Structure 1
Amino acid sequence: MIKLTNLLRTTISAFALLAMVNTGRAQSIPNPWRTGIVTDEFVYQKAPYKECHAATIAETPKGLVASWFGGTKERNPDVCIWVSHRVNGKWTEGVNVANGIQNDTLRYPTWNPVLYQVPGGELMLFYKIGASPGTWKGYWKTSKDNGYTWSDQMALPEGYLGPIKNKPVMVGKNLTSPTSTEGKGGWRIHFEISPDLGKTWKMVDVAKGTDTIDAIQPSILTYKDGRLQLLARTKNRAIAQAWSSDKGMTWTPLSKTNLPNNNSGTDAVTLKDGRQLLVYNHVLPPGKLAKGARTPLNVAVSKDGKTWYAALILEDSPISQYSYPSVIQTKDGMVHFIYTWRRERIKHVVADPAKFKLVEIKDGQWPKVEGYELPVIKGETKDL
């Protein structure tokens, strides 16, 4: 009995040692698509609502501010706009700053907040109110104290929606908002330009192009030679692009890039070193389908907006969805991503772009690297 017990102890110890060795080996092999990430956190763990979506982020003189919409479910009338600040390394509890109450008997959901910090000025918050994207209207507020208190709600001029998902860009003295419509005229991209920070506006259309591309939710990239580039979500299984050589007053017709799109939101930012950064789901929908899974969530970098290099995979679980990312670069050079995590929470990831290990994306395929396998997505995904 004693000999059997000793043998059993020896066997268990051997298996434990083997497990420790194998675990050590696994931990010693870093995920090649996480190089450069310095922070990976949730904005909150619990909230007084079931679902959330469409986060946005801005850097104010007093630090980071984030916003998103949250409620029972997208399109539900109780969906409101929430705001949180990152203070001493932690996000504060979300505060409800806007709702869709029209009167005692009518209430609409709110949608797609967009934060923008005017250089040397106020913090802007744009959002939409309405029963659906085809009927919503644009509203905005401003804050003089970095998003802790807000002005009264202001309606944008009739027909104007403000930045539809992604942040505006200051082009010279013009606040240039990337926007789009999804109403009776189908999916169309346009820009709303204000020379006086929202007092007056003008609209610039973008043609669908020979491929009749259905696109929404553009973002804006800038180049040292003065050109602008838009990148946008489509129903055409590819990210769309267009170019402007006159500060956004006119644009080339839309065309497809060589990057796939799963009919889900993207965002992009021009880095301080002149490179372009794109965050998106690198997913090609199967067959002729326009929609695909909202996982994984990827980051690519380019010098010219044409040749793209794989940089990061922010999420790679086969459990969808990781979607609607927003991205900014802060004054310290770090890149901040904020996005929907399974519609349950909002995720915040910080990365150092100087540490990215880039691999060229060829023929629209995310590169294969030794020691890493892309997730296998089986069946249909929810909330596409």
Structure 2
Amino acid sequence: MRSPGKPRLALTLALLAVAWTAWQAPRPGAPAFALPAPLPASPLPEPRQAAHFASRLLPLAAASAHAASLAQLQDGTLLIAWFAGRSEGAEDVAIYLSRLEKEGWSLPRTLASRPETARQLRRHLRKLGNPVLHVDTRGRLHLFFVSVSLGGWAGASINHKFSDDGGLHWSPAVKLTTTPFFNLGTLVRNPPLDLQDGGLGLPAYHEFIAKQGEWLRLDAQGRIVDKVRMPHPRDTLQPTLAALDEQRALALLRDAGPGPGHVQAVSSQDAGLSWKRAATLPIPHANASMALLRLSDGKLLLAGNPGSGRTSLLLYLSRDQGQNWQALGAVETGREADGKEAEFSYPSLLQASNGDIHLAYTWRRRSIRHVTFNPAWLAARAQGDITQPAIPAAEDGP
């Protein structure tokens, strides 16, 4: 007698195969990175420029703040998004946005709340997190963020919304389908790279069962047309990317494996169609997010935490496309009033149209700090002319 379970199994496998085939939409043509236009040259040679460094804390949105993301509109306006609430994962956590005005950073405006996003997605949500801002080559402002319906962050999915008027009005949130099976376990943390066809290459990571970096290719309409895993023998998370030219890219990954962590790396020679493991950087690093930025002069700037934890935020500079790195010391380090380790983490980097470099990061889990410095300050730091932490440890916050 034929077992009734076999036809059911065959039917289930056939349906899964159909679902996978349907999800794997035809790939468009070969991608290429859209590199930013060169910045105008300074009227003074770099050694004669005055080194500039400044910092300020953003207005408070809630008791706890985390995971900043920077973007600049085409009119030059600087934006920062982050999530805030009673604590990470709390039901009141929302995504907030602030813009830099003449008087300073504006009061935080809610970009996405849990109830509003649940209504737009038509599903129950437990929590939100990890906003990512990006302005594409057309001037459209994108917001990617994660939401969780059940369980912890391993059960997260990616959501996307956009604005065509600089963040004044936004489209409803749409959940990206990154896998045909339950669509769980995929998160974002760092900004995408622009592609010449108008699409985006979005670095993502999978945190359900296995931990690994991923590359999501979106077309100009925001639809996922390709997904490629970033192979690595260790557990890795939160890739941060820099395009080296139209075809080559470097991705640095958070080391989530056992034992002491280092900065892990993968690279692509075909604009994200495939990724291969690259040499581990000789930089001890905590199990925490990093930010990588290709500067206008081709150097690479890295912000992250040392191997000892999140109590210091450090900068590193590479002049040879990531082969060698120079430690530039701490931007900020310190402890809380009770002697416990403070947290300065989850950095975001951006070079503005005037050449200034902007850094935003979690400040003691209570606020977001914004730092700005020019290439002259960075050069002085690299030459050893500035060695002390850029922000005094005794500086008080809100």
Say whether the fold is shared (TM-score over 0.5): yes
User: 2 CA distance for matches of 1:372 and 1:90?
Assistant: 27
Task: Map 1:171-250; keep pairs closer than 5 Å.
Answer: 171-173=195-197, 174-184=199-209, 186-208=210-232, 212-224=233-245, 226-236=247-257, 237-250=261-274
User: 2 CA distance for matches of 1:355 and 1:163?
Assistant: 34
Task: Map 1:88-237; keep pairs closer than 5 Å.
Answer: 88-101=102-115, 102=118, 106-130=124-148, 131-159=151-179, 164-173=188-197, 174-184=199-209, 186-208=210-232, 212-224=233-245, 226-236=247-257, 237=261
1:66 is aligned with what amino acid?
A: I
Return the index of the structure with the highest Cα Rg. 1
2:212 is aligned with what amino acid?
A: R
User: 2 CA distance for matches of 1:198 and 1:165?
Assistant: 17
Alpha-carbon distance, 1:147 to partner: 1.1
Alpha-carbon distance, 1:238 to partner: 0.2
1:317 is aligned with what amino acid?
A: G
Alpha-carbon distance, 1:235 to partner: 2.3
Alpha-carbon distance, 1:314 to partner: 1.5
Say which of 310, 324, 333 aligns to 2:346. 324
Say which of 68, 79, 102 aligns to 1:55. 68
User: 2 CA distance for matches of 1:370 and 1:91?
Assistant: 28
Say which of 259, 262, 270 aligns to 2:283. 259
- Greater shift after overlay, 260-269 or 106-115? 106-115
Task: Map 1:280-295; keep pairs closer than 5 Å.
Answer: 280-281=304-305, 283-285=306-308, 293-295=309-311
Aligned counterpart, 1:5: none
SS at 1:277 equivalent: strand
Preserved contact between residue 66 and residue 346 of structure 2 (Cα < 8 Å): yes
The C-alpha deviation readout for 1:135-190, integer Å capped at 9, x for no partner, is: 01111111111112211111112537887111101133341111101112x21111
Say which of 363, 371, 375 aligns to 1:349. 371
User: 1 CA distance for matches of 2:104 and 2:90?
Assistant: 29
Matched, 1:309 2:322: no
Runs of 4+ in 1 over 3 A off after TM superposition: 102-107, 160-163, 369-374
Aligned residues: 321
Preserved contact between residue 186 and residue 206 of structure 2 (Cα < 8 Å): no
Q: 1:344 to 1:248 in 2, by over 3 A?
A: same
The sequence identity of aligned pairs, in percent, is 26
SS at 2:376 equivalent: helix
Q: 1:136 to 1:221 in 2, by over 3 A?
A: same
Q: 1:219 to 1:306 in 2, by over 3 A?
A: same
- Greater shift after overlay, 294-303 or 245-254? 245-254
- Greater shift after overlay, 344-353 or 141-150? 141-150
1:61 is aligned with what amino acid?
A: Q
Preserved contact between residue 329 and residue 387 of structure 2 (Cα < 8 Å): no
Higher RCO, Cα 8 Å, sep 6+? 2
1:97 is aligned with what amino acid?
A: L
Q: TM-score normalized by structure 1?
A: 0.77
Alpha-carbon distance, 1:119 to partner: 1.6
